[in-house]
């Protein structure tokens, strides 16, 4: 769990979790990299990034196995997030998927379990499974991922829907559509957001404005992109880092404060939305 000095986000339950966590997308795909990836996650935990996000989809469970290696002997330090695929999100399928994830990670519980995106199974059925998993102590909170405002309206209209803890979405400097509608909608309802692909898998790092802001601060463009997100209350950010140096650079983004000039330059380079946009996914 986060230390007193580490910036946190408060879930609807009142529980505080780190604002800066660790993602695992693309981990677990190489047996040769597995130890280095697990070591990187452990270093992140040492540095306070004890929120770890994974999913059954990542490397067909391989990422969850890497997470299991990383948290072995340290489970109580971690706020663990995983996701069920929509194709598995029936009442029985969700429970079976959760059991498989628990086994791969070597734990008896997942702190936050998400529906990875909307599929053909009615929300009501998935939520019934989430409720059962909570009753059985196998998950502590549930949420969703990649749901737009219309989906969220439908979700929270269900009897169990208001227990949704978070919506994990694609959000970074070049993907700002959620600022027009989804972000304020979630804020009004005290539903936290979690930003994945916060540096657009590296594609935005050559932007001249981003590089100029970074140069002024003696930082990297990636750190500026993370700091731009981390300045928002109620937002968790989950960059992936597969090496110790990358982990340390991500952690340092928490100590970077952007000023009005920085933010104005970034707005010019990456304009905020002026109209609704379809929710984007990677």
Residues noted as catalytic: 58
Helix (H) or strand (E) holding 18: strand 16-18
DSSP secondary structure of 136-196: TTSEEEEEEES--HHHHHHHHTSTTGGG--EEEEE-BTTB-GGGTTHHHHHHHTT-EEEEE
Rounded-to-integer distance, Cα 187 and Cα 182, Å: 9
Pairing of strands 79-84, 51-53: parallel
Dihedral in degrees, nearest 10, Cα atoms 28, 32, 37, 38: 90
Q: Nearest CA to 126 among 107, 112, 113, 111?
A: 113
Give me the residues paired with residue 236 across strands: 194
A 10 A CB-CB count for 60 gives: 11
- The answer to whether 23 and 240 have CB atoms below 8 angstroms apart is yes
Looking up tokens 């677990």, which residue turns up?
28
Rounded-to-integer distance, Cα 24 and Cα 241, Å: 8
Which residues, including other chains, have CB under 8 Å from residue 112's CB and lie 6 or more apart?
A: 79, 80, 81, 82, 139, 140, 141, 142, 143, 165, 166
């Amino acid at each position: 769990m986060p230390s007193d000095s580490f910036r946190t986000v408060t879930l609807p339950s009142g529980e505080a979790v780190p604002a800066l966590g660790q993602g695992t997308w693309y981990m677990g795909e190489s047996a040769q990299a597995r130890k280095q990836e697990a070591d990187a996650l452990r270093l992140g935990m040492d540095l306070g990034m004890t929120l770890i996000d994974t999913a059954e989809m990542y490397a067909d469970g391989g990422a969850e196995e890497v997470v299991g290696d990383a948290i072995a002997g340290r489970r109580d330090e971690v706020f663990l997030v995983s996701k069920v695929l929509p194709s598995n999100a029936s009442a029985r399928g969700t429970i079976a998927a959760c059991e498989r994830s628990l086994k791969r990670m070597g734990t008896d519980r997942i702190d936050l379990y998400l529906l990875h995106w909307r599929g053909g199974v009615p929300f009501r059925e998935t939520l019934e499974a989430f409720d059962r998993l909570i009753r059985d102590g196998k998950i502590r909170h549930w949420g969703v991922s990649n749901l737009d405002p219309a989906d969220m309206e439908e979700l929270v209209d269900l009897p169990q829907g208001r227990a949704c803890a978070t919506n994990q979405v694609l959000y970074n400097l070049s993907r700002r559509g959620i600022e027009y509608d989804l972000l304020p909608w979630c804020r009004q309802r005290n539903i936290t957001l979690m930003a994945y692909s916060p540096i657009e898998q590296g594609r935005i790092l050559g932007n001249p404005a981003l590089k100029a802001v970074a140069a002024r601060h003696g930082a990297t463009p990636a750190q500026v992109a993370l700091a731009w997100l981390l300045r928002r209350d109620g937002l968790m950010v989950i960059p992936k880092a597969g090496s110790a140096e990358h982990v340390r650079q991500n952690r340092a983004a928490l100590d970077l404060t952007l000023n009005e000039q920085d933010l104005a330059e970034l707005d010019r380079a990456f304009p905020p939305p002026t109209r609704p946009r379809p929710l984007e996914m990677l």
